[in-house]
Amino acid sequence: MARRALLEYPVGEVRSLTRIPQGLIHLTWRAETDRGVWILQRLHPDMAGDDGLQDFAAVTEALAARNFPAPRLVRTTSGRPALDGTDGRYRLITRLEGATVESVSDLWMAREAARLLGEFHRALAEFRYAFTRRRALHDSPVHFDAFRKAVGRVPPEAPEALIRRIETELPRWFLPAPIPSRVVHGDPKINNVLFDIAARKAVGLVDLDSCARHSVLVDLGDAARSWCRSGPEDAEAPFEMDRFQAILEGYRESGAPVSAAERELLVRACLLIPLELASRFVRDAFEDRYFGWDPARFPSRPAHNLARARGMTALYDSMLARKGEMEKQVRVLWGNETYFATVRPPPSFPRKRESRSSPGGLDSRFRGNDDLNRYPI
């Protein structure tokens, strides 16, 4: 069905279609045609609604207007944002050049990723769009309630200690309300950042399905959760303080504004996100329906999700043990309240020459042939 879906898009003759195995949510393919290389996705049913597609199109168009390096939606020949296939809904997006990594291997990666994340926040600072999709994006109390309902129905052999730990610890770190909201990425894990390894630069952000209005603290907390550890999410790896410092440095370099109140809550957000994600993994261990899993390493989705939950709670414990050091780093590197009170104009990225071979005159920077780019969405 994936190959047939491509026939409905104005991208030319299909030369190859290769499944990309990375990713927890959508099924993703690399599609090469005689007009370029594209990314085809069969959307997860929970994220395939018209409202989500409308939000995705609006965000990508706004980023394109700022020349920010992010994918763009490619509409079907008839102008639709997605194609309804016999086995699900398909979406085609442009492909950016760049390499993805599964974990930070050098401090420059954390610093550059944070700089690009801050520039993303600045690029959408004046975006007045009203998001239509009602999704519990980092709505920790909502996730916590869903977790408690799920574990209330679990069998006696459930991991009781893990469940009780999350029940006790997660509510401690809920962010206070009200809190200033801006447009956030929602899922800035490190393999959603594209890098030019030779130039040691972050060159793109992908996976824009979770964009919404929230505090930038959830993006920064999720960045610390993903970038300040090594190995897959199911590994019990310690928190790396030097990478956290690199995040602070890179985000400050971007010029994205952070208020004194947000600065005081940053470490709280960093402690919140691993536990929030652990609660979602435990919930899916019993509902067995949402996250992808690796059958080569685990006997089932629930088994993989429980390993992920243990990995996230281990990271939380490591962060908690270094909470004082984290707060000190924030004071040292983000202590200039005058700087953070200054809101700079959104960045405008250099324009590139338009490609004549792309549908709708898409910018040539969205077409690449670097096979390192795997779009793990």
pLDDT(345) > 90: no
Write down the pLDDT at residue 375: 34
Residue 255 and residue 122 in contact, taking contact as beta carbons nearer than 8 Å? yes
User: Fold identical between 2-95+350-366 and 107-341?
Assistant: no
Q: What burial class does residue 360 get, using C-beta atoms within 10 Å of its C-beta: 0-12 exposed, 13-18 middle, 19+ buried?
A: exposed
Which CATH number is 107-341's, of 3.30.70.3450, 3.90.1200.10, 3.40.1080.10, 3.30.750.200? 3.90.1200.10
Q: How many helices (H) and strands (E) does the chain have?
A: 11, 10
Cis check: omega of the bond before 178, within 30 degrees of 0: yes
Nearest-angstrom CA–CA distance, 225 and 184: 16
Of 63, 212, 73, 48, which Cα lies nearest the Cα of 130?
Answer: 212
DSSP annotation of 239: -
Between residues 83 and 340, the one the model is more confident about: 83
pLDDT bin (cut points 50, 70, 90) of residue 179 is confident
DSSP string, 115-184: HHHHHHHHHTTT----------TT-HHHHHHHHHHHHTT--TTS-HHHHHHHHHHGGGGPPPSS---EEE
Q: Please list the residues that pair with 212 across neighbouring strands.
A: 184
Nearest-angstrom CA–CA distance, 193 and 45: 24
Write down the pLDDT at residue 154: 63
Write down the pLDDT at residue 46: 82
Nearest-angstrom CA–CA distance, 96 and 24: 20
* Residue 95: both structure tokens together: 């492909």
User: For residues 22, 23, 24 and 26, what is the CA-based torsion angle, rounded to 10 degrees?
Assistant: -120
199-208 pLDDT, tens digit per residue, is 999 999 999 9
Nearest-angstrom CA–CA distance, 351 and 305: 43
Nearest-angstrom CA–CA distance, 173 and 362: 43
- Pairing relationship of beta strands 88-94 and 83-85 according to DSSP bridges: antiparallel
Mean pLDDT of 64-88: 95
Nearest-angstrom CA–CA distance, 28 and 40: 6
pLDDT(357) > 80: no
Which CATH number is 2-95+350-366's, of 2.160.10.10, 3.30.1370.140, 3.90.550.10, 3.30.200.20? 3.30.200.20
pLDDT(363) > 50: no
DSSP string, 294-341: -TTT-SSHHHHHHHHHHHHHHHHHHHHHTHHHHHHHHHHHS--HHHHH
Residue 313 and residue 162 in contact, taking contact as beta carbons nearer than 8 Å? yes
Domains of the chain: which residue ranges?
2-95+350-366, 107-341
Residue 239 and residue 247 in contact, taking contact as beta carbons nearer than 8 Å? no
Write down the pLDDT at residue 350: 61
> In the chain, what percentage of residues exceed pLDDT 70?
86
118-162 pLDDT, tens digit per residue, is 999 999 999 999 999 776 679 999 999 999 999 877 655 578 899
* Residue 269: both structure tokens together: 């957000």
User: For residues 55, 60, 65 and 69, what is the CA-based torsion angle, rounded to 10 degrees?
Assistant: 150
Write down the pLDDT at residue 93: 97
Nearest-angstrom CA–CA distance, 211 and 133: 10
* Residue 348: both structure tokens together: 């405008």
Per DSSP, the three-state class of 55 is helix
Phi and psi, residue 217, nearest 5°: -60, -30
Mean pLDDT of 180-188: 94
Nearest-angstrom CA–CA distance, 189 and 354: 30
Q: Is the pTM of this model over 0.85?
A: yes
